[in-house]
A and B are shown apart, each in its own frame.
Chain A
Amino acid sequence: MKNLVCIIITVLIIGVLLIAASELPEFGNPDNPELNSLSKGYIANAMIDTGAKNIVSAVILDYRALDTLIEATVLFSGAIAVMAVLKGIE
């Protein structure tokens, strides 16, 4: 009985999400609204400003370096949380 209710809820959620995803823009179209001037600016200026040939590295370590700092802090605090649960806070 409980298994049947769980399966019906899952099928309902998949159905609603698929109806919403059928109205998204086409896959691989160069006229999509998410390709605005920001990505064109990053590709055009990455080699001149930073001197790196890897555009993804230039984005995460030069234009958006603060996000990478916060992510390293989250990884470190995850290790501290595991240490606090398993070894006890003193």
Chain B
Amino acid sequence: MHDLILKNIVKFITPCIQLFGLYIILYGHISPGGGFSGGTIIASSLILKHITFGQSSIPSIFRKDSALKLIGFALILYSLMKGYSFLGSQFHFPHPPTGVPGNLFSGGFILPLNIIIGTIVSATIYNIFTLFVNE
């Protein structure tokens, strides 16, 4: 688009939206939020940048083929962390320490799983948007 007000404001406000979404993802085990809502907020900031500046302003890891590889790799990581229960009932995976409730690094596997879900949701919703836009 060739609007001067839109370009200047989007250039200023996109890091603020992404920082807010990252806070909701990382503090998902202390305050309300989690992977799904934080991933949607980051996807909406990517869609705003795509509308204003064109397709070349998004890093190439979110484009078509690289995004599919990223989502597949993230799903394999998730199933490695929590898929051991199909092998039997006496397997116990060594997990990160539980820690004091209230810190950032507490709660075992909950923090890495939130980050993985956030990347999956944001990449998927941005990819569905790029399929509907024609240019």
Which A residues fall within an 8 A CB radius of B?
47, 50-54, 56-58, 60-62, 65-66, 68-69, 72-73, 75-76, 78-79, 82-83, 86-87
Chain A residues positioned under 8 Å from B20 (CB to CB): none
Partner of A76, one of B71, B79, B132: B71
A72→B108 contact, CB < 8 A:
no
Q: Which chain B residues (90-112) contact chain A, with CB distance < 8 Å?
A: 98-102, 106-110
Interface size class of B (residues with CB under 8 A): 20 to 34
Chain B residues positioned under 8 Å from A60 (CB to CB): 34
A54→B31 contact, CB < 8 A:
yes
Q: A61-B110, A62-B109, A79-B127 are in contact. Are A69 and B79 (CB under 8 A)?
A: yes
Chain A residues positioned under 8 Å from B82 (CB to CB): 65-66, 69
- Pick the most buried of B85, B114, B121, B124: most chain A CB atoms within 10 A of its CB: B124
A53→B34 contact, CB < 8 A:
no
Chain A residues positioned under 8 Å from B117 (CB to CB): 68, 72
Partner of B131, one of A54, A58, A65, A83: A83
| Bound-complex Cα distance A82 to B31 (A) | 34
Which B residues fall within an 8 A CB radius of A?
28-32, 34, 71, 75, 78-79, 82-83, 85, 98-102, 106-110, 113-114, 117, 120-121, 124, 127-128, 131-132
Distance from A77 Cβ to chain B, minimum over Cβ atoms (Å) = 10
Partner of B99, one of A51, A56, A82, A86: A51
| Bound-complex Cα distance A9 to B124 (A) | 39
- Pick the most buried of A52, A61, A62, A79: most chain B CB atoms within 10 A of its CB: A61
| Bound-complex Cα distance A82 to B78 (A) | 24
Distance from B120 Cβ to chain A, minimum over Cβ atoms (Å) = 5
Q: A75-B124, A79-B128, A82-B131 are in contact. Are A52 and B78 (CB under 8 A)?
A: no
